[in-house]
């Protein structure tokens, strides 16, 4: 910015010095993914938690009454005596203990045997199709959250999308997206003493200018304005709330800060810490790699729910993963890529305390080429949330163009 001390320079030079990506018309901010709207009175805050790598739904929510499960995994199964019992058929991995109160309060639900209609075992293909919300062969390139925002008529001026981390495929499309690791980093990259006059100059330069870059720049500056009061403050969670000291906990804390600030946060997505690709060395129910992954997930979600306080009543949190794992353990004390998995749904508008979906069984004739069958499409879960909690009843065909969601009854009408 030395060349622009008097703010008399070309627009491109100022944008470059300010840390703005001129080609994208968005600030180069340094991660949860978030979407804002001007007015969120009629929708929940949706938080999508990605378990990237293919989470093993049979460990997260073990079918403790299915003897085929124990037989297929003699070394790594979650045994009935170790699981948190949910009902006669299913339990939770013991590391999910922090979430048990939400199950008993009927705010936490499970959907089992979830997947897609493609059955691919490719991380890239499955993740890409799921984030677009379409079948693998569908050429639609926008993400399902982007289409929801667009179909609901949220203008670029509302700045409906923001990302903590690299914007995911769910936000691919016309909705502008910011990326940040923390609210404190959401600033033009100049000395703090020059922040205000630099942002003012940027706003003046783009005032009245047409075109997508100008629209994105004005939206970016609007987000800066909204979050400015929180940039230089240390966020203090509610009394007694302690987030895990990892990337997932940090991301959830950022989401909670903005949600509690009442800035109209509408959608946020965040990745759970680490990879869920457990080909080897999974460990056992009480210790090891997967246990630690589940513990981070559970402690983070429990802290987030407590931190939201009464705002949990208007918040829906859902976990997604591109596919599940095979039923039988492999020779490396792990499980390879499979099909059906499980999703967790947590929130004040959820009919919790139940395991949803049709359980197909794990007998030899019930498997899908060695995998748990996917009897519920993941879009059935997301579609019901879009319909019942996110104000998207009239746009489901646009959000999920090649799937007609079948509702499970897990969400109350907002």
Nearest one of 288, 390, 355, 379 to 57, comparing CA atoms: 355
The model's pTM: 0.88
Beta bridge partner(s), residue 114: 341, 376
Rounded distance between C-alpha atoms, residue 233 and residue 224, angstroms:
15
Structure tokens at 141: 């390139």
pLDDT band at residue 15, thresholds of 50, 70 and 90? Answer: very low
Instruction: Give the Cα separation of 32 and 380 in Å (integer).
Output: 24
Element (H, E) at 285: none
For residues 374 and 340, the answer to whether their CB atoms sit within 8 Å is yes
Handedness of CA 74, 76, 81, 84 (dihedral sign): negative
Closest CA to 301 of 45, 13, 108: 108
Confidence of residue 170 (pLDDT cuts 50, 70, 90): very high
Does residue 89 surpass a pLDDT of 70? yes
Select from 312, 332, 273 the least CA-distant residue to 106. 312
pLDDT band for position 13 (cuts 50, 70, 90)? very low
Judged by DSSP in three states, 221 sits in helix
pLDDT, residue 165, reads 65
pLDDT above 50 for 18: no
Domains of the chain, by residue range, sit at 30-180+248-399
141-150, 218-227, 290-299: which range is least confident on average?
Answer: 218-227
pLDDT of residue 64: 97
Residue 236 Cα distances to 4, 227, 240, 260, angstroms: 37, 16, 11, 11
Per DSSP, the residues of 139-181 read ---S-HHHHHHHHTT--GGG---BBSSSPPGGG-SSS---B-S
What confidence score (pLDDT) does residue 34 get?
64
Exposed, middle or buried, 52 (CB in 10 Å: 0-12/13-18/19+)?
middle
Q: 407 is written with which tokens?
A: 């509702």
Quick one: pLDDT at residue 230? 73
Under 8 Å between Cβ of 170 and 50: no
Q: Tell me: pLDDT of 71 over 60.
A: yes
Residue 104 has pLDDT above 50, yes or no: yes
Q: Where are the alpha helices (DSSP H) in 278-334?
A: 289-308
Alpha-carbon dihedral of residues 205, 207, 213, 219, nearest 10 degrees? 110
Q: In the 8-state DSSP scheme, what is residue 118?
A: S
Q: Which of 80-84, 220-224, 318-322, 380-384 has the lowest mean pLDDT?
A: 220-224
pLDDT-based confidence at residue 184 (cuts at 50, 70, 90): confident
Instruction: Note the pLDDT tens digit of each residue in 267-321.
Output: 888 999 999 999 999 999 999 999 999 999 999 999 999 999 999 999 999 999 9
For residue 310 the two structure tokens come to 């009464």
The whole-number pLDDT of residue 32 equals 63
The Cα–Cα gap between 240 and 227 comes to: 25
User: Which of the residue ranges 182-186, 236-240, 345-349 would you say has the lowest mean pLDDT?
Assistant: 182-186
Pairing type for strands 26-27 and 91-92 reads unpaired
Token representation of residue 290: 């997967």
Q: Is 211 left (phi over 0), alpha (psi -120 to 50) or beta?
A: left
Q: How far apart are the first and last CA of the chain?
A: 49
Compute the average pLDDT of residues 18-41: 45
Backbone phi, psi, residue 343, to 5°: -120, 145
Mean pLDDT across 185-189: 71
Average pLDDT, the chain: 86
Using the 8-state DSSP alphabet, how is residue 44 labeled?
A: P
Residue 228: predicted pLDDT: 77
Cβ atoms 32, 258 nearer than 8 A: no
Looking at CATH, the fold of the domain delimited by 30-180+248-399 is given as Alkaline Phosphatase, subunit A (3.40.720)
Residue 27 confidence (pLDDT) above 80: no
Q: Is the pLDDT of residue 326 over 90?
A: yes
Tell me what pLDDT residue 62 has: 98
Residue-wise pLDDT for 123-139, tens only, equals 999 999 999 999 999 99
């Amino acid at each position: 910015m030395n060349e622009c001390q008097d703010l008399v320079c070309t627009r491109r030079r100022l944008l470059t010095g300010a840390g703005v990506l001129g080609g994208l018309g968005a600030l180069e901010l340094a991660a949860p993914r978030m979407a804002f709207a001007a007015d969120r009175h009629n929708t929940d805050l949706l938080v999508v938690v990605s378990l990237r790598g293919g989470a093993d739904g049979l460990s997260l929510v073990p079918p403790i009454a299915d003897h085929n499960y124990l037989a297929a995994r003699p070394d790594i199964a979650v045994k009935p005596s170790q699981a948190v019992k949910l009902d006669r058929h299913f339990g939770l991995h013991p590391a999910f203990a922090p979430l048990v109160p939400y199950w008993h309060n009927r705010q936490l639900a499970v959907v089992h045997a979830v997947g897609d209609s493609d059955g691919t075992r490719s991380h890239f293909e499955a993740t890409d199709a799921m984030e677009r919300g379409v079948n693998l062969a569908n050429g639609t390139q926008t993400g399902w959250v982007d289409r929801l925002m667009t179909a609901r008529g949220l203008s670029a001026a509302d700045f409906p999308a923001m990302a903590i981390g690299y914007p995911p495929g769910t936000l691919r499309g016309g909705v502008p997206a910011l990326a940040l690791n923390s609210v404190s980093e959401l600033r033009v990259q100049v000395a703090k003493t020059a922040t205000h006059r630099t942002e003012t100059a940027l706003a003046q330069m783009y005032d009245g200018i047409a075109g997508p870059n100008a629209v994105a720049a004005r939206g970016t500056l609007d987000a800066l304005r909204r979050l400015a009061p929180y940039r230089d403050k240390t966020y203090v969670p509610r009394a007694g709330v302690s987030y895990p000291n990892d990337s997932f906990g940090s991301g959830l804390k950022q989401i909670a800060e903005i949600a509690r600030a009442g800035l109209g946060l509408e959608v946020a997505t965040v990745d759970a810490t680490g990879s869920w690709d457990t080909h080897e060395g999974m460990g056992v129910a009480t210790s090891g790699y997967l246990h630690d992954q589940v513990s981070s997930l559970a402690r983070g979600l429990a802290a987030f729910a407590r931190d939201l306080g009464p705002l949990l009543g208007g918040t829906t949190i859902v976990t997604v993963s591109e596919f599940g794992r095979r039923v039988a353990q492999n020779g490396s004390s792990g499980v390879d890529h499979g099909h059906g998995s499980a999703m967790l749904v947590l929130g004040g508008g959820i009919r919790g305390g139940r395991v949803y979906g049709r359980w197909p069984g794990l007998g030899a004739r019930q498997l899908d080429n060695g995998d748990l069958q996917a009897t519920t499409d993941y879009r059935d879960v997301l579609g019901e949330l879009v319909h019942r909690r996110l104000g998207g009843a009239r746009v489901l065909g646009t959000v999920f163009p090649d799937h007609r969601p079948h509702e499970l009854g897990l969400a109350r009408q907002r």
